[in-house]
Structures are given as structure tokens and as C-alpha cells.
Amino acid sequence: MSPTHSSRFDPGWPLRHAGVQSALASFKPRNWSRRRHPMALAAAAHILDCGDGVRLMGLHSPQPLGKPPKGLVVLIHGWEGCHESVYLLSIACTLYDEGYNVFRLNLRDHGGTHHLNEGMFHSARLDEVLGAIRAVQTIDPTQPLFVIGFSLGGNFALRVGLRGPAQGVAPRLSVGVCPAINPGATLRALDEGPRLFHRYFIKKWHRTLHAKAAAWPARYDFTDIWSLTSFVEITARFVERYTEYGQLDRYLAAYTLVPDMIAASPSPLAIITAQDDPVVPFKDFGGLDRHDGLSFIAPRYGGHCGFIENFRLRSWAEHRILELLARA
């Protein structure tokens, strides 16, 4: 598969390693100056009524009075991320500086919201994300609407573009950055890949399970999960006990996106991914570079949601996102 559309990304040798790029995506010192950024200072928290009794939380940062916004961008973090994830805060500041209103949406049970809904988060809960975006548009009706997501959030963003128009959510463009379009392959990559990523995500999942059990002590007891170390096994146990799907294969199929589905989207989509991503296998994107209606950017380097171009920790992907939004 050949990379397309402004896909040259060639960081210096020390930054080329996929593990380094992936680690720098969440390197906390990148956030030190951004917590006092005008985007962060303008942010107001909202509890969103997403329908069917579901509530999600997010932060809205409108442009200053007297400065007409270029559009509204809804940002969706990755699995076990939140509105303050380094990569999300970084792109939010960049977009705000460029004149966009920004809404950083927390998925269910993320960003300290385990108490808002009794049912647990799972990745097939697209309807509540669409409900959240509809609620955001009542708070801020600015057009055009853009949706950008990272990793699992990238999967959600692409599904918003695929299924949203039929439910009253019609983004001008939906962008997935390193989107986990084949969740089964991602689970296997976490189990079989570098132990650093495995330990990192296991620790974060245990943390959220503890938080959920603390918020709903009469409802949840995860004793039988603590000893499991395989993501495939943990997810299978979780699906059986806490979702309506019952079986792992049925659950994964509910949010798997094959290239033909993406290519047939009723609204514009864009994908930025790295050929060396250790979490999202690049082979799953096979054939997407041949579809003229899709903006597909796939440099050789970048790791998982990294794309750090220099030691000032500037994000190459953020510039590509700005170009995509400007063209849209």
C-alpha cells in the first residue's frame, strides 16, 4: 500500500522508533503550558443528555466574543483516555488557535465519570455518542461540524461519519487518527506486542474497574477479572458478563470497520495512521489508498498517535488535520 496525500513524515533518527513516538503521544510535560492556554481557560464543563437516560460529560471552549468561529470540532479521546489526555489537549489548543470552537467529549466511564451511568462503557455504544453530539449542537450550533478521534476514539469518529447522517448528525468531515478499525487485531497486538504497552493498558483498565466498582458497589464485583492478563481473555469475560452481546466475536463485529465500509461512507472521512503503529496493524487498512473519496495519510513513521516531529514535541499530524479541515 502506498502512502498518499502529504504523507511524508521523516523525524530525526532518535524519534523514529515506534515505541518512542507512541510514548511521546502521552508525554505529560507536553501539557504543562497548555493547562493555561486560552482554550483551557475558556472551557466550561457540560453534562449532556444523550437520550435513554444516558449522561456524558465534556468541555466546551468557544472562541472569544467578537471572533466568529471557523467551525465546531468535537474531539474524542482513545480508550482509557479523557478530555485531558496529552494528545487531545494538544490538538484542542491547536484548533482553538486556528479559530475553531472545540468540544472535548468524554466517553462513558472516562474522565472520572464512572458515577454518571450504571451500565459500563463498551466500544459498541455509538448511539450515545451520536446523542452527545446532538446535545453539543444545541449548546453550540456553529457550522460546519467536524469530528476527530484518536485510536478507539478514531473508530468512533469514523462511525459517526458512517452512521451519523441517518440519525441527524452530519459532520463536514470525520477524522480518525490511528483508528482501531479492527478491534480483534488490536487486542492481539496488545497481547503479543511490546510488554510496555500491555502493562500500561492493563494498569489503566484495572484503575477504571476499581473506579466503577467504587461508584456502584452494589452492582459490580470484578474479583474474577483481576488475575487475568490476556486482553483477549479479559475482553471475552467482560463481554459475557457486562454487555448485551454475550460472545466476543459478536461484540467485536459490532464496531469493526472493514475498508469497503469506510470507502462507502455517506459523509466525508479522513484517516491518518502510521505504518509502524504497534497497536493498530497497518495491514488492516489495505486498499484504502485507492479510494479517491477518502483522504488517507499513512507515513512510514509515527507510532500510535505520536507523529512527534522534533524535540520541541511539535505534532506533525496536527498540521495535517488543519489542512484537512481547511480543504473540507
Reported confidence tier of residue 33, pLDDT bands at 50, 70, 90: low
Q: Is residue 221 part of a domain?
A: no
- Model pLDDT, residue 292: 77
Instruction: Show the domain range for 103.
Output: 13-194+255-327
Longest CA–CA separation in the chain, Å: 56
> pLDDT digits over 268-278, tens only?
999 999 999 99
Q: Is residue 217 part of a domain?
A: no
- Model pLDDT, residue 7: 66
Query: Cα-flanking dihedrals φ and ψ of residue 266, to 5°?
Result: -75, -10
- Model pLDDT, residue 200: 85
Query: Cα-flanking dihedrals φ and ψ of residue 56, to 5°?
Result: -125, 155
Structural domain count, the chain: 1
What average pLDDT does range 134-157 have in this prediction?
Answer: 98
pTM tops 0.85? yes
What average pLDDT does range 75-84 have in this prediction?
Answer: 96
Q: Which of 61-65, 102-106, 117-121, 223-227 has the lowest mean pLDDT?
A: 223-227
Average pLDDT, the chain: 93
Q: Output the nine-digit C-alpha cell for 194.
A: 511490546
Q: Is residue 316 part of a domain?
A: yes
- CA 218, 223, 224: angle at the middle one, nearest 5? 125
In the chain, the percentage of residues whose pLDDT exceeds 70 is 96
> pLDDT digits over 91-112, tens only?
999 999 999 999 999 999 999 9
Residue 4 has pLDDT above 80, yes or no: no
Q: Is residue 238 part of a domain?
A: no
Neighbours of 143 (CB within 10 A): 11
Distance CA 44, CA 129 (A): 19
Distances (CA, A) of 32 to 27, 28, 97, 133, 200: 10, 7, 17, 29, 22
Residue 279 has pLDDT above 70, yes or no: yes
Using the structure block, give the residue that is written with the C-alpha cell 494498569.
Answer: 203
What average pLDDT does range 194-207 have in this prediction?
Answer: 86
Q: Give the CATH number, domain containing residue 187.
A: 3.40.50.1820
- Model pLDDT, residue 30: 64
